[in-house]
Amino acid sequence: MQDEALMAAALSVGRRELGQTWPNPAVGAVVVRETPAGPVVLGRGWTSKGGRPHAEPQAIAQAGAAAHGATLYVTLEPCSHHGQTPPCVDSIRAAGLRRVVAAVEDPDFRVAGRGFAILREAGIEVIVGPGAAEARIAHAGHIRRVTEGRPHVMLKLAVSADGKVGLAGRRPAAITGEVARGRVHMLRATFDAVLTGIGTVLADDPLLTCRLPGMLDRSPVRIVLDSDLRLPATSALARSIATAPLWILAAEDAPAEREALIVGLGAEVMRVRRRAGGGLDLDEAVKLLALRGITRLMVEAGPRVAAAFVQSRLVDEADIFEAPRELGHDGLDALEGLPLSQLDTYLSVTETERHGADRLTI
């Protein structure tokens, strides 16, 4: 029980960095000493921006000499490989920790149980499993990237009570309220990248940044599915590249002169195969993003792109913001050609939150 509670502390330390550490997982670690009065946290560490340094050496450094004989709680198996930093198992051994409690094994083929084996050989007690379910959620992006070669994909939908979204080509109907909007911006900050379609860019001119001044000011990579490279140079996305990177996924046959123009604005253009229906091959698109280091992808797109992700079975999680009012005939189906209830056959709805008048179903 106590191991579960202290792992919960490590998980919350790590989770704050979601969206910041790609291509690495956002690991959390705490060094704890048992005292007659109960456990005392001596040091906390989390994976740094961009993935290094790792969490464990930072928690150990904070604990200093007191780490000797203490327990390390860490949300992922400590690494055993020489990457850009020395292996975390080395700093654990050097600090003289007596016990390591890890939530889950790291499926990265360079680690995959070797971290635990090295620690046990060094006479350190190793326990695996407390907080495993939570850790699998927190590290879903990393786990999917190293085992399946694609990011964890979250589909965000803002719908009316009758499951509709605003009419394309019009100014977007402001469906959900201010509170829900704040929550969407917070969510964006926890993803490595946010993806939309060129149809949404042309209709709504979104920025796709996280804008919560004074609270959270960190934006994911913005990604546009733009088969024919129609992105306007005057779009809000193109004009905000200094704030957050912009990657454009285009078809192999999109005009080279458009690519030159868009690259000239500071965006990156990546080419993806077309599917038979004409849209981009999403399996290839997400593989490409994983190769570029993206572990957590949020899809915030119109009905066509949203439905394409669902149909390609690439949606791992859906966050649906549902407003109390109905749009009726003024609305489009949130997933083109698919009833919204179809999502349930792909996902299990686990959680409902209220945001002002709106309801969020996860």
Active site residues: 56
Shortest distance, CB of residue 341 to ligand AOF, whole angstroms?
37
Report the residue number, 67 or 76, with the smaller CB distance to ligand AOF: 76
Report the residue number, 15 or 54, with the smaller CB distance to Zn ion: 54
Which residues are at the interface with Zn ion (CB under 5 A)?
54, 79, 88
- Indicate the burial class of 198 (C-beta count within 10 angstroms; 0-12, 13-18, 19 or more): buried
Among 84, 345, 348, 350, binds ligand AOF (CB under 6 A): 84
CA-wise closest residue to 222 among 238, 250, 244, 239? 244
**Which of ligand AOF, Zn ion, none has residue 325 at its interface (CB below 5 to 8 Å by kind)?**
none
Residue 267, helix vs strand vs coil:
coil
Binding segment toward ligand AOF, per CB under 6 A, in 104-112, 162-170, 176-184, 352-360: 104-112
Hey, which residues between 12 and 31 contact ligand AOF (CB under 6 A)?
24-25, 27
Pull the structure tokens for residue 283: 């399996």
Shortest distance, CB of residue 55 to ligand AOF, whole angstroms?
4
Angle, in degrees to the nearest 10, between helices 88-95 and 114-121: 20
Running DSSP on this structure, what letter comes out for residue 239?
G
**Beta carbons of 263 and 246 less than 8 angstroms apart:** no
Residue 341 contacts ligand AOF per CB under 6 A: no
Report the residue number, 9 or 79, with the smaller CB distance to Zn ion: 79
Q: Cα dist. 192→19, 101, 160, 225, 270 in Å?
A: 4, 28, 28, 16, 17
Residue 52 contacts ligand AOF per CB under 6 A: yes
**Which of ligand AOF, Zn ion, none has residue 296 at its interface (CB below 5 to 8 Å by kind)?**
none
Shortest distance, CB of residue 96 to ligand AOF, whole angstroms?
18
One-letter amino acid of 270: M
Residue 253, helix vs strand vs coil:
coil
Backbone angles phi, psi at 93, to 5 degrees: -65, -45
Residue 85 contacts ligand AOF per CB under 6 A: yes
Among 79, 101, 267, 289, binds ligand AOF (CB under 6 A): 79
**Beta carbons of 59 and 43 less than 8 angstroms apart:** yes
By CB under 6 A, name the binding residues for ligand AOF.
24-25, 27, 47, 51-52, 54-56, 76, 78-79, 83-85, 88, 106, 108, 111
